[in-house]
């Protein structure tokens, strides 16, 4: 399960600034340099630096200096969870829907296969019933939905870590 986000006095103080909140929202879109944030928020670089230092101190933003000319800032896991608290709920719902779709699809295909081999009914009534393609169609649709839900859940999870 996802850890709870602890908002101490220091973090609450950092979040009380509109400038820092706008920086967090900008970094939620993608990682950025000080220059990019300055242009996007129409603020001087010195103001951006000062606010980024406070965000880094509270572990909401991390400085990514990979040895290149530019230094990028990006949200930490704590910062991402703070801005998007319901992402894990969406993933859990997608995985649950995928599981239910798979189970329904397997049951539908089982019913189709069972309807194509009517040994018992033929012995009792002497009539061979027709197979039911609706079960196959229903089962295939549910299996396809299960695959789609699973793909979406893993894609959302992958985006959380990129």
Last residue of a domain, one of 83, 114, 145: 83
Whether residue 3 lies inside any domain: the answer is no
Last residue of a domain, one of 19, 51, 83: 83
Shared-domain flag, residues 36 and 77: yes
Residue holding tokens 């950092």? 14
Whether residue 31 lies inside any domain: the answer is yes
The total number of structural domains that make up the chain: 2
Could you report the per-residue pLDDT of 18-63, keeping only the tens digit for each? 898 899 999 998 989 999 999 999 999 999 999 999 999 988 999 8
Shared-domain flag, residues 142 and 114: yes
Shared-domain flag, residues 15 and 43: yes
| Its pTM surpasses 0.75 | no
Q: Is 22 helix (H, G, I), strand (E, B) or coil?
A: helix
Could you report the per-residue pLDDT of 121-142, keeping only the tens digit for each? 555 555 555 567 888 888 899 9
Q: What ranges in the chain are assigned the alpha helix state H?
A: 9-15, 18-29, 34-41, 45-57, 77-83, 87-116, 119-125, 133-161
CATH number at residue 71: 1.10.10.10
Structural domain of residue 105, as residue ranges?
87-161
Shared-domain flag, residues 109 and 152: yes
Last residue of a domain, one of 54, 83, 112: 83
Which of 12-21, 47-56, 89-98, 106-115 has the highest mean predicted lDDT (pLDDT)?
Answer: 47-56
């Amino acid at each position: 399960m996802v850890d709870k986000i602890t908002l101490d006095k220091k973090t609450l103080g950092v979040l009380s600034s509109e400038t820092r909140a706008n920086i967090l929202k900008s970094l939620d879109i993608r990682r950025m340099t000080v220059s990019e944030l300055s242009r996007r928020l129409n603020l001087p670089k010195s103001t951006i630096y000062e606010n980024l230092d406070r965000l880094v101190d509270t572990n909401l933003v991390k400085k990514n200096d990979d040895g290149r000319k530019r230094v990028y800032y990006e949200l930490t896991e704590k910062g991402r969870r703070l801005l998007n608290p319901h992402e894990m709920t969406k993933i859990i719902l997608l995985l649950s829907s995928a599981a239910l779709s798979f189970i329904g699809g397997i049951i539908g295909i089982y019913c189709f296969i069972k309807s194509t081999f009517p040994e018992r009914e033929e012995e009792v009534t002497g009539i061979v019933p027709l197979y039911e393609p609706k079960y196959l169609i229903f089962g295939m649709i549910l299996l396809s939905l299960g695959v789609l839900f699973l793909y979406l859940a893993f894609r959302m999870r992958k985006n959380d870590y990129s």
